[in-house]
Chain A
Amino acid sequence: MAGRVSAPSLEVSDLVVRFGQRAVVDRVAYRIEPGRTLGVVGESGCGKSMTALSLLGLVPAPGEVAGSIRLGGEELIGQSRAAWRGMRGRRVAMIFQEPMTALNPVMRVGTQIAEIMVLHKGASWEAAEAEAVRLLEAVGIASPRDRARNYPHQMSGGMRQRAMIAMALAGEPGLLVADEPTTALDVTIQAQILDLMRELQARTGMAIQFISHNLAVVSELAHDIVVMYAGRVVERAPAATLFAHPRHPYTQGLIATLPDPERRVARLPVIRGGVPNLDHVTGCRFADRCPIAEPSCRSAEPELHVAAEGHDVACFKS
């Protein structure tokens, strides 16, 4: 790799998250450059959220994390607890799906934002609270001074998610991990939040890992997309390529299920079945639901391989 000018924001390789014998995230690898957005797509239970939590060292016990997570060239796995703590919120920030439950209900919103600056920048509470007001303004909240004194329940869902984003920005992180940040919001608010994230990325140059089960939402924002299935990456490509030439049957299925305004149908197509029990799978994990599976698919597991320039897929048949 000659001519690499700057270290990537994030480089994940061989990431494994294990609960007992079961690997819920299995040999996952991807990278995100500064200023770029990686979309991570997959259905519930495919390991997207665990992947995200492992970036912050927040995989709940008794989960074990192995592999490599390099942030700005520095290996995170194996770091001390204190090092993780110093990194959370400052170098990697995370926003969550449900802004109602993700904010502390008994703490003023301004205080929750200010806390990051007190923790990481040694700011005084007074200065940090003032900065929190500026951040609330930056994420498009009207009368930020009053809102900073609000408790979460006094805000609407969209406003809470904006506050959540303001909180994430407070540490000026290089990487923002957004785990289904718009799923709990209605469609118009969803679009506003996506616009806001795009705008903030342009302003700060941070990298974003955007996680969603909804391919349509991811396509709004992502430069590159990783499709996960049952703990594994099954396809990885630039967003435009993925939509134009999806190679994995699972990705093809996901795209087929998207409603198309040009083509009205009585019933949207579905991918039949559910994620398999990982304890009993040999061979390709998608084989049971795959329209083009052959007996040979069930004997060995397909590895991720280069199918075209910048386009990797884990399928024997593409």
Chain B
Amino acid sequence: MRRFILRRLGQTLLVLLVMSFVIYGLIGLMPGDPLDVMIASNPGASPEVVARLRVIYGLDQPLMLRYAHWLLAALQGDLGFSRTHSQPVLVVLAPALWTTCKLMLISFVVSVILALGLGIVSALRPGGWLDSLISLAAFAGISVPVFWLALMMILVFAVELHWLPASGRETVGDGSLLDVVRHLIMPVATLALANTGGFTRFVRASMIETLRMDHIRTARAKGNGEGRVVLIHALRNAMIPVLTVMALSFGTLFSGALLTETMFAQPGMGKMIYDAILSNDFNLALVGLLFATLITLLSNLAADLAYAWLDPRIKL
């Protein structure tokens, strides 16, 4: 177990290293460099000044050498300086990372809980009216575009009903827990809905399959009530395949978070990376993308651990 975790963390570092090279290279391939932006905002800059700045920023060096410099500094904990924010990258990144992780985790938990409940209820009477209703809702959830849903929610709950704030992380000058929660409801609901639909379908299918298994018949033959049969005997077995799907979707949740953050003006990673790329803020974009990679890798590791915990047949 411990060896497994250590090995996986080692692999994670390796993947991060490769990713940093790839991302650095890709950003280097983008047209323009930070100085172009500077020149554009300061037409008076003479070619000599620009050339000097190029040397100061190290932009006259070949890409590989620049990467090597960056990597060496990064390994010593210096992730660089954000040009547009005029602050160290980590200082800019930390609050955005927190906002995004909060949004992702809460909506993930919400969608898992909802999917478990709805999926199990569906599986108890496949083809029944409740199952049909839930399936319809699940497909609606899968097919509704996130941006449209976000717009509709803003229109209904913020503009028309004035129940919830349309955007932001908190009301300036308030920032109480209730206020923060109120700001989270719509982004979380938007992000959770699409996943809930998919998860519900998977829980339902897996549960129906599990309930047909021989050991479920044994559980009934022992005198277990239906509640115990479903929640104790079937659920854990049914969760094994579902877990994989859920863990894999955690990575895609990140791109969903990007969209949601934009719609609800949440100062999160998605928006930050997007802005950083547009404004040629290389360091910030690079580290932001690396953290996105890290989140995905760690969620996969967590899934593997949960997998082994659920299924004793799997040895780590």
Contact = CB atoms under 8 A, between A and B. Distances in A.
Interface of A: 56, 58, 85-90, 93-94, 96, 98, 101-107, 115-116, 119-120, 151, 153, 167, 171
A153 B312 contact: yes
A106 B236 contact: yes
A120 B228 CA distance: 14
B214 A102 contact: yes
Contacts of B236: 106-107
B69 interface: no
B215 interface: yes
B237 interface: yes
Interface in B255-307: none
B194 to A, nearest CB: 30
Interface of B: 213-215, 217-225, 233, 236-237, 240, 310-313
A116 B219 contact: no
Given A96-B214, A101-B213, A101-B214, A116 B313 contact: no
A85 B237 contact: no
Given A101-B214, A151-B312, A106 B221 contact: no
Contacts of B233: 104, 107
Could you say which of B218, B219, B223, B313 has the most chain A C-beta atoms within 10 Å of its C-beta?
Answer: B223
B217 A102 contact: yes
Q: Which 4 A-B pairs have the closest CB atoms?
A: A89-B223, A101-B214, A88-B223, A89-B222
Contacts of A86: 223
A150 to B, nearest CB: 9
A135 to B, nearest CB: 14
A101 B223 contact: no
A116 B224 CA distance: 8
11 contacts: A56-B221, A88-B221, A88-B222, A90-B223, A101-B215, A103-B215, A104-B215, A104-B233, A105-B237, A115-B222, A116-B223
Nearest to A115: B222
A151 B313 CA distance: 8
Contact of B218 (A87, A104, A153, A171): A104
A58 B220 contact: yes
Given A106-B237, A106-B310, A120 B213 contact: no
B127 to A, nearest CB: 11
B297 to A, nearest CB: 27
Contact of B214 (A56, A98, A107): A98
A227 B13 CA distance: 68
A235 B221 CA distance: 29
B215 A105 contact: yes
A21 B255 CA distance: 55
B60 to A, nearest CB: 61
B150 to A, nearest CB: 39
Could you say which of A85, A90, A116 has the most chain B C-beta atoms within 10 Å of its C-beta?
Answer: A85
A98 B312 CA distance: 20
A47 B316 CA distance: 44
Nearest to B212: A60
Nearest to A167: B222
A289 B215 CA distance: 37
A228 B221 CA distance: 24
B20 to A, nearest CB: 40
A153 B313 CA distance: 7
B217 A85 contact: no
B88 to A, nearest CB: 48
Given A98-B214, A102-B217, A119 B310 contact: no
A153 B215 CA distance: 13
Contacts of A90: 223
A295 to B, nearest CB: 44
Contacts of A153: 312-313
A111 B93 CA distance: 49
Contact of B223 (A103, A105, A120, A151): A120
